[in-house]
Amino acid sequence: MRRISRRQQVVTQLGLSLAGLFVLVPMWAMVYMAFDKSIIGFPTSFRLWPQEFTFEMFQKAWDAAMRSVPFPAALRNSLVVAGGAAILSVAFGAGMAYAFARHRFPGQRTGLFALLVGALLPPVALMTPLYVLLTGLGLRTSHLGLIIVYTAFSMPFCIWNMRAAFQAVPKDIEEAAFLDGATPFVTFWRMTLPLALPAIAIAALIAFLAGYSEFVLGWLFVDKAANATVAMTIAGTLRSSGIVSWSYLSALAILMSVPVVVIFLFLQRYLMRGLLIGAVAE
């Protein structure tokens, strides 16, 4: 390993510190605004501590995230939609990823390229076709329709991510299972899939976050406030007329972040294992 000079170390640490401040300062601003009762409308200055400490904004956001919609109802909608999209993306994408990783068939490269294009395509570009399709199926205004939409946009990334994980699993393990009399499905379920769990956890988390934080397409497929997700409530509050309390928005954003933190802590073991595997592979 090449050693770096003290000057390079100072420059590197300074750059990393500036990058860290660029991330941490807005986060701290959101935290102190959520607990500061003195802020009315837009904040006019940055403070290190709340001027009037209170939990009132959290209570207000919990009781009515948007109009008459309480936060637990909006959170339930978000978890149903984002969780359903993550489960379907992983469940349907795992089989396709394994096929692309282990088998050779006509159109394989074309299929992978099409998935890559699908992952890079902006969701807004497909709003009209999706609107017409789901309206014809009678699913446009249901959570199931929104789950299908988010699954369609999350699956390309999930397939590419899990394909790389399946390729990293040694073929010798599968061949040994075949020699012991295991069927292809049993080999995939008992041997290959557990070894690829870190990559699957990462794919599931990304798919969940994509559906949990999206709100542009959501408004196209939601016809009433009772079906809105938490991200839609924040966007709806910003679009509403009148003075918008940024303390209220900050409290709502913190409440929205809690489930993500809990899910990350639950998947932390698999996520860290996936990062370590990637570092070793490099």
Write the DSSP symbol of residue 241.
Answer: S
- Model confidence over 193-203: pLDDT tens digits? 888 888 888 88
Helix 71-102 with 197-213: angle, nearest 10 deg: 140
According to the model, what pLDDT value does residue 282 have? Answer: 41
**pLDDT tens per residue, range 42-55:** 777 777 777 778 88
pLDDT of residue 240: 62
Question: b vs e for 243-270, b when ≥16 Cβ sit within 10 Å of the residue's Cβ?
Answer: eebbbbbbbbbbbbeebeeebeeebeeb
Question: pTM (2 decimals)?
Answer: 0.81
Indicate the domain borders of the chain. 65-240
Structure confidence at residue 243 (pLDDT): 60
- At 13 the pLDDT is 87
Q: Which CATH number fits domain 65-240: 1.10.3720.10, 1.10.510.10, 3.20.20.10, 3.40.50.20?
A: 1.10.3720.10
Give residue 87's pLDDT.
Answer: 93
- Residue 129 and residue 170: Cα distance in Å, rounded? 41
